Amino acid sequence: MEESESLSALLDQLKKISGNKLLVHGGGSTATVIAEKLGLETHMVEGRRITDAGMLEVVTMVYGGLLNKKIVAGLQARGMNAVGLTGADFNLIEAHKRPVSDIDYGFVGDVDDVNVSELRLLINENVVPVIAPLTHDGKGQMLNTNADTIAAELATELANHYKVYLFYCFEKKGVLTNPEDESSVVYDLDRELFNKYTREGIISEGMIPKLENGFRAKHKGVKEVLITNPENISTGRGTRLV
């Protein structure tokens, strides 16, 4: 989503998908670059960003502004009417600040409630909502929330009203048994195989919560969950959760 070439490829493929669409994006790499320019140090724990007050301002600007509007403009250029939103807009996603246990993640939000009433009005008018990974606590506080989690939560809630297909899109063709070999795609992944690959270290770091969210969404009524790259979201090729 953050590189012009891959973003362009993704939006081109998105246009080829029939039916209503919704796009959830991240933006961590850009946030890190902007934070560095502002003299703010980035701290990560197991792939998750520590979001102090200064970093929260950065991610709100980058996710909700810079990247969100760049994507909206790209969709408009391809004839897809789009609108950019955060979890605070329409009271879409309410969350609470993650309690401090071993690690203080700062202003990171864990989702409490998803309200898709207004979102459905937009979708039914063939508008493409573009959702930044930001939520709010209902008391005026913005929170940084994992984009994969937001995608799964929205997909699950929308599955009560539509037939929903959830695509997790990143730079690889799918889950790979060898990260250096693009031909080693695991085309069908069930929970047992996921647990095995996790124990063996084949699946690790950021891919674990992505797949956990995907399995949870599948269990709660999402018709299909696919992990793939921009070039293949319209072809259906990649790792399918079963």
Closest CA to 127 of 119, 135, 136: 119
165 token code pair: 């297909």
Task: Cite the residue boundaries of each domain of the chain with CATH code 3.40.1160.10.
Answer: 1-159
Q: What pLDDT does residue 173 have?
A: 93
Q: What pLDDT does residue 6 have?
A: 83
Q: What pLDDT does residue 171 have?
A: 87
136 token code pair: 């709010």
Identify the CATH number of the domain defined by range 1-159.
Answer: 3.40.1160.10
Asked if residues 174 and 185 have their Cβ atoms less than 8 Å apart, the reply is: yes
Q: What pLDDT does residue 84 have?
A: 98
Q: What pLDDT does residue 14 have?
A: 93
Q: What pLDDT does residue 50 have?
A: 92
**CA–CA separation, 151 and 147 (whole Å):** 6
Centre a 10 Å sphere on the Cβ of residue 121 and count the other Cβ atoms it contains: 11
| Burial of 6: CB neighbours in 10 Å, binned 0-12, 13-18, 19+ | middle
Q: What pLDDT does residue 124 have?
A: 96
Q: What pLDDT does residue 5 have?
A: 86
- Residuewise pLDDT in 10s, the chain (242 residues): 778 888 998 999 999 998 999 999 999 899 999 999 999 999 988 667 899 999 999 999 999 999 999 999 999 999 999 999 999 999 999 999 999 988 899 999 999 999 999 999 999 999 999 999 999 999 999 999 999 999 999 999 999 999 999 999 988 999 999 988 989 999 999 999 999 999 999 998 888 888 999 999 999 999 999 999 988 888 889 999 99
